[in-house]
Amino acid sequence: MCQFGPKVRRQTVFVKLKPPGPSPVRIFGKTCQRMTTCGPACGSAGPGPMTGVGRRLASSLQSTSTGSLPDYGTQIVDPYRLLEDDLNGIYEDIRSELERNTNQPELNTIATYYFDGQGKALRPMVAILMARAVNYHVYGENSALLPSQRQVAMISEMIHSASLIHDDVIDQSEFRRGKPSVNVLWNHKKVAMAGDFILAVASMMIARLRSDEVTLVLSQVVTDLVQGEFMQLGSKETENERFAHYLTKTYRKTASLMANSVKAVALLSGADEATCELAFQYGRNLGLSFQLVDDLLDFVSSAQAMGKPTAADLRLGLATAPVLFACEKYPELNPMIMRRFQEAGDVEKAFELVHKSRGLEQTRFLAKKHGVEAARLAAELADSPYQKGLVVTTDLVLNRIK
């Protein structure tokens, strides 16, 4: 794992695409990006490597270790290293919460299948990072993470995993995170009920927070998830409506969870309305950036790196941003979109046309636009390691390879 340092050399090889401009976090120093070639400075600088969950989480985003981060003004912040203590044990705590609420061993096994510590844990990381940044913004350097805010981080990961389980049933996925998906190992009825069970336990945890505002905010996430899935399953929009439909669906399926989770932790801190709205908009932009990159990676990353088949969206009949942008140059994609790539050769032809167009570059540019906006919003919070971590996270999301 690379160490950050003032003499790091890098050569970005992001799957044939060159980012259109400087990184939004370059002000915090140079960093090894994903898929880099480092010079001698990547060797022994800083203390020993992370242990436990911090190491697993950091490697899952191909991030780099920052040592002990003694000087936040001159060294870039590694969010996972910064929050290692807060994140440590979070999957174990989720599994314990689920186990406490059932006496059905098989239900517990299915429900906890994706809480094995192999995910990116991006959502709980962002929630805790925002919680600490807002607490510092409101109360100063002696502020601490509230237990209720960590509960929100757990809830965000539970809602996310429940949505993955339901997606696996709907899409009949075979692989997830590099291993067989739940619906391959168990029948669909049991898997669907396991997803419902996770949401039910998450709802109980929300109720225990005893905050009407937070309950409304987090309940909105589940409402948005279902609506987003319906939009994806039944879209027959016209050519003119297509991109707006895609962005709305993307917000509901992905960005709403990030936006409302970080708003919830801001509400729990007692922050004012403007700060809570700032948190929400940060999460919204970060979530949109994340999904746009995800849609791009479906065309350019390997199945081994992604832990799931590539070109999966096309095979599911979905037209994501790279395809929609490619339509500008290749209008013959439009009838393929309307028939959801169901005719023989549609998937292969669409894949080829996307790569021949500027669809990938345009998708990355839009992802960066949302990432830069998220970084700008984070920069409005009081200066702290956590505020800087929020800015750095926008870069991690934009430059990830899986």
* Residues 243, 324: Cα–Cα separation, whole Å: 7
Q: Quick one: pLDDT at residue 178?
A: 74
Q: Quick one: pLDDT at residue 312?
A: 87
Of 15-29, 48-62, 150-164, 240-254, the least confident: 15-29
What is the residue type of 356? Answer: K
Task: Kindly state the average pLDDT of the residues 296-311.
Answer: 72
Q: Quick one: pLDDT at residue 183?
A: 87
Residue 131 forms part of a structural domain: yes
Judged against a pLDDT cut of 70, whether residue 280 lies above it is answered with: yes
Q: Quick one: pLDDT at residue 306?
A: 53
pLDDT per residue as tens digits for the range 85-112: 999 999 999 999 999 999 999 999 999 9
What is the residue type of 193? Answer: M
Of 224-238, 265-279, 294-308, 368-382, the least confident: 294-308
Q: What are phi and psi of 205, to 5 degrees?
A: -65, -40
Task: Kindly state the average pLDDT of the residues 267-287.
Answer: 99
Between CA 1 and CA 365, with CA 66 as vertex, the angle to 5 degrees is 80
Give the number of residues written for the chain: 402
Residue 116 forms part of a structural domain: yes
User: Taking the complete model, does pTM exceed 0.85, yes or no?
Assistant: no
pLDDT interval class at 252 (50, 70, 90): very high
Question: Among positive and negative, which fits the CA dihedral 11, 388, 287, 91?
Answer: positive
* Residues 276, 303: Cα–Cα separation, whole Å: 38
pLDDT interval class at 304 (50, 70, 90): low
Number of domains in the chain: 1
Name the nearest CA neighbour of 53 among 141, 140, 115, 138: 115
Task: Kindly state the average pLDDT of the residues 147-168.
Answer: 96
Of 112-116, 125-129, 179-183, 331-335, the least confident: 179-183
Q: What are phi and psi of 336, to 5 degrees?
A: -65, -40
* Residues 293, 289: Cα–Cα separation, whole Å: 6
Residue 368 forms part of a structural domain: yes
Q: Quick one: pLDDT at residue 41?
A: 29
Q: Are 324 and 245 in contact (CB under 8 A)?
A: no
Tokens 């929630």 sit at which residue?
A: 127
Residue 79 forms part of a structural domain: no
Residue 57 forms part of a structural domain: no
For the chain, report the end-to-end CA distance as a whole number of angstroms: 17
More confident residue, 9 or 61: 61
Q: What are phi and psi of 39, to 5 degrees?
A: -85, -165
CA atoms within 13 A on the CB side of 68: 4
pLDDT interval class at 240 (50, 70, 90): confident
Query: What are the beta bridge partners of residue 176?
Result: 179
pLDDT interval class at 175 (50, 70, 90): confident
What is the residue type of 239? Answer: E
CA atoms within 13 A on the CB side of 17: 30
Q: Which domain holds residue 261?
A: 90-398
Q: Quick one: pLDDT at residue 394?
A: 97
Q: Quick one: pLDDT at residue 119?
A: 74
Residue 248 forms part of a structural domain: yes
Report the mean per-residue pLDDT for the chain. 82
Task: Kindly state the average pLDDT of the residues 127-131.
Answer: 99
* Residues 177, 371: Cα–Cα separation, whole Å: 24
Tokens for 46, please give them: 């800083």
Q: Quick one: pLDDT at residue 229?
A: 92
Task: Kindly state the average pLDDT of the residues 343-369.
Answer: 96
Q: What is the CATH number of the domain that holds 136?
A: 1.10.600.10
Directed axis angle between helix 273-300 and helix 242-250, to 10°?
110
Q: CA separation (Å) from 330 to 292, 325, 340, 359, 360? A: 20, 9, 16, 10, 14
More confident residue, 103 or 24: 103
Tokens for 116, please give them: 């094995």
Residue 82 forms part of a structural domain: no
Q: Quick one: pLDDT at residue 305?
A: 55
Q: How far is CA 112 from the centre of its chain?
A: 20
Judged against a pLDDT cut of 60, whether residue 64 lies above it is answered with: no
Judged against a pLDDT cut of 70, whether residue 224 lies above it is answered with: yes
Q: Are 87 and 125 in contact (CB under 8 A)?
A: yes
Residue 369 forms part of a structural domain: yes
Maximum average pLDDT range among 32-41, 275-284, 294-303, 330-339? 275-284
